A and B are shown apart, each in its own frame.
Chain A
Amino acid sequence: MRILVIEDDPGLRRSLSATLKEEGFAVDQAADGEEGLFKASEGLYDALVLDVMMPKLDGWQVLEQLRPQHTVPVLMLTARDSVPDRIKGLNTGADDYLTKPFDSDELVARIRALIRRTSGKTQSQIEINGLLLDTARRSLSKDGQEIELTAREYSLFEYLALHRGEVVSRSLLYERLFDENDNSLSNLLDVHVSNLRKKLGASIITTRRGHGYCIE
């Protein structure tokens, strides 16, 4: 899952990014509305975290220019907590709203819920070939036994599970799972996939040569 954090305050931007990264998201940052709009327009992200008060372009303007071409879920962060402001945010096309100061667990939970909703799943638990994926707890278990996964491995599995039945290309996986500052080697993805196969069994993830990976 790749997320773009558009926030002008450098301290908060750093803190948010660190929190989200630790939760297994790939995180890109933008320091103002213009940069944020530019990055978001590429369409690489599973969700946007958008601050309202920003220089150059504020949150509303970014949202207005982004919609309706891009349907990426947007969570707005604002220091204003009046009802008209919330209504304005939701009317402009924001999918959710959080008022500063907020609990970072709540932020993460809301982002997950947003992503889940856009991928058409309403439940946080997904059952795949005898494996139980809990997106809320970020855990994978088999017969009640939890399987230890690294954050990257989990993200990879979750992405494939949420797009079950689709063939996900390697480049798309790179885009979604690694942020712009990751200059990983190109075979890093293969390492993660082979690790997952070791832990979960070889049949769970199929490789379509020349296309990508898929969970049937």
Chain B
Amino acid sequence: MKRPFQSIRWRIQVWHGLILFIAIAAFCVTAYQLAWLNQSRRIDREIQRHERQLFKSLTEANESYFSERNNGNKRIPFPEELYQIFETGKIQLPEEALNEFSGNASGYYYFAFANADGELLLKSENAPDQLNFLPLPDEVGMQEEFRTLGNLRESAHSFNFGFRIIIGHDIQSELEEKHRFGWSLGASGCGLWLIGLLGGWWLAGKAIRPIQSISQTATRIAEGNLNERINTAGTDSELDQLSHVLNHSFDRLNAILEQQRQFTADASHELRTPLTILLSESQRMCKRGKSRSEADYQDAFDLCHDACIRMRDLVESLLLLARQDSNSPNHLPCDCDLAPLIQDSCAQLRSLADSKDIAFELELETCPLHADPNLLKVVLNNLIGNAIQHHQGKGHVWVSCRPLVKQIELTVKDDGPGIPEADLPHIYDRFYRADKSRNSQDGHSGLGLALVKAILQTMGGEITVQSQQGTGTTFKVKLT
């Protein structure tokens, strides 16, 4: 088991939790602020309403004074005028205003008036002792401020002619309400966060499940269950695409492994028959050794020798093939000419050709090229040797080489029986033989053409074949 914080699920969960927390917290703080702002505005409007009411009732109480000055026109007086009444000291205080601005019950209102020197002109009996009047404005007519002092909310005004007013309101209950709101907001935010976390955990698990299944399948495949594949029956999501890619890779790896396994099996299979001969003959010779004739021994040794040659040829071909496969730079290219190499090859195979009454027809031009002559010989011996060995006898093998533009063309053609069409795609397969007998008595291991193809691939050449049953086969090799 991995450590929890290394798993993708946990990482997704942690990031998701963090982002969700920030979002919920931002939302709660904004909601809290907005709600309090709203509440403050309502409180302020309320204070203003009480202020207007106080003014109105003051005006009404001192109506006689104002109607005198205003020649009977009724209107709400300017603060200057109100101030003047205070100055005169003959202000009448209305009953209802006093009822409104009294007591210490939750939500009470109070007021205070002062002059330019800060002397209290009038205040309600419930006003606090410490009152901070606004300083007088410099030039502008009026200065105004709403402020919160502890659990009190005040509206303070000052006028340039020296009049200063404070209307206050106890907001204890609103503050408590604000606290309650804050707590409930916090609680529901936390709840939401927890639900979000659970949902995120579930979603992350759901998102991760295909990955887990992929990894489990891949583990089983790695343990050797090579035929298992990831289940791709789902929507065409990114993970499905990944599964397809992985399955494809597994298929290819499996095919390569299977090919390798087949090759090893074939190679050991090819070695088993000569080994059996060696084993059985040597065992036979060991028994009753004295009573044997010389001819008997000769016979057994001939058999053993043939078996050894078969094994040697096979092992050499396998090694050469393995070297071509590994692409190791073990060949030594040098400047050489193809034409004399072909002549050498034909000279080597002459006796075999004569024994089957096959005539060589050579048409050689000078073909200089840069390649390993030993590998070229393997190619030539195999192609020309095949043409002779598969021939039914009495015929021709044509070998020609000519230089083309930047290329050299080698052609080996025979008028033998040809290759059946069904076998053509497989002739370069390792250990493939047109007859399924795996009969290696005539020296075929089934590796010749595979070797030719592998060598040409490392040389950068290519080989093509044309064959018609009854008329013969033509191999064309192009070397650069």
Contact = CB atoms under 8 A, between A and B. Distances in A.
B303 A15 contact: yes
B279 interface: yes
A22 B299 CA distance: 14
Interface in B261-318: 265, 268-269, 272-281, 283-284, 287-288, 299-300, 303, 306-307
A53 B276 contact: no
How would you classify the secondary structure of chain B's contact residues: helix, strand, loop or mixed? helix
Given A11-B307, A15-B303, A100 B284 contact: no
Given A55-B439, A102-B279, A15 B284 contact: yes
A101 interface: yes
A201 B278 CA distance: 43
A12 B441 CA distance: 10
A53 B438 contact: yes
Contacts of A9: 273, 277, 439-441
A104 interface: yes
Contacts of B139: none
A71 to B, nearest CB: 27
Greatest chain A CB density within 10 A among B274, B276, B284 is at B276
Contacts of A100: 272-273, 275-276
A99 B279 CA distance: 13
A58 B269 CA distance: 16
Interface string B224-264: 00000000000000000000000000000000000000000
A35 to B, nearest CB: 13
Given A12-B273, A14-B303, A80-B269, A104 B280 contact: yes
Interface string B363-383: 000000000000000000000
B436 interface: yes
Given A55-B436, A79-B272, A100-B272, A11 B279 contact: no
Contact of A10 (B281, B300, B441): B441
B276 A12 contact: yes
B68 interface: no
B437 interface: yes
A18 B302 CA distance: 14
Interface string A187-216: 000000000000000000000000000000
A164 to B, nearest CB: 29
B335 interface: no
B276 A18 contact: no
A166 interface: no
Nearest to B281: A15
B303 to A, nearest CB: 5
A139 B288 CA distance: 15
Contacts of B281: 15, 18
Contacts of A19: 280, 283-284
Given A11-B306, A12-B277, A79 B269 contact: yes
Contacts of B300: 15, 18
A16 B280 contact: yes
A8 interface: yes
Interface string A85-127: 0000000000000011111110100000000000000000000
Given A22-B284, A22-B288, A79-B272, A15 B437 contact: no
A137 to B, nearest CB: 13
A103 B275 contact: no
B280 A8 contact: no
Contacts of A104: 279-280, 283-284
A103 B283 contact: yes
- With most chain A CB atoms within 10 A of its CB, the pick from B277, B278, B303 is B277
Contact of B437 (A11, A14, A22, A55): A55
Interface string A1-38: 00000001111101110110010000000001000000
A52 B276 CA distance: 15
Contacts of B96: none
A105 B280 CA distance: 9
A54 interface: yes
Contacts of B436: 53, 55, 58
B285 to A, nearest CB: 10
B320 to A, nearest CB: 23
B439 to A, nearest CB: 5
B283 A105 contact: yes
Nearest to A77: B276
Given A14-B303, A19-B283, A101 B437 contact: no
Find the residue from B265, B273, B300, B307 having the highest chain A CB count within 10 A. B273
Of B281, B300, B306, B436, chain A has the most CB atoms within 10 Å of the CB of: B281
Contacts of B268: 79
A107 B440 CA distance: 23
Nearest to B437: A55
Contact of A103 (B273, B277, B278, B279): B279
B435 interface: yes
B352 to A, nearest CB: 18
A11 B303 contact: yes
- Nearest first, the 7 A-B pairs at minimum CB distance are A55-B437, A100-B272, A101-B276, A101-B275, A79-B272, A79-B269, A104-B280
